[in-house]
Amino acid sequence: MAATKRLMKEFKAIGAAMPKGVDSLKPDDSNVLLWAGTLQLPFEPYVGGTFKFKFEFPAEYPFKAPVFTFVTPIYHPNVDAKGAICMRELAPDTWKPATKVAQVLDALVKLLETPECSHPLRAELAEEYTTDKAKYMDNARKETAKAIA
């Protein structure tokens, strides 16, 4: 299976240099197409929180994009209440087979640091971020406090 071979190669490369903010990342012992990890972000309003996530890779990977989901809720305009994320790098119409997991994780951390409020999954948070950033940051810190390991 080509997906398995590629994923193991990528996992090895990531293990040598974990992307900024990624605390842990590991394939499932019984299924290499399922990965779990945690983020510990070094910027406000997420400092101190531990956010669990998962990747589900299709058997057609890298020709089809993986699905990324937050397991731990995160207060962010580009992440919905179920943990799905709106990210150009993972969108089926813009996914490129040359894209690596490490690149997705780097883009994810950048998106979390700088929300794309023009393409939100939660419009009310995008509105709050753009009109009252202090309130947004306070609310996000309160939610992050719930994610402290």
- The residues annotated as belonging to the active site are 86
Q: Identify whether the C-beta of residue 46 lies closer than 8 Å to the C-beta of residue 137.
A: no
Task: Look at residue 110 and give its three-state secondary structure.
Answer: helix
Q: How far apart are CA 53 and CA 72, in angstroms?
A: 7
> Running DSSP on this structure, what letter comes out for residue 116?
-
Task: Look at residue 29 and give its three-state secondary structure.
Answer: coil
> Can you give the C-alpha Rg of the chain in angstroms?
15
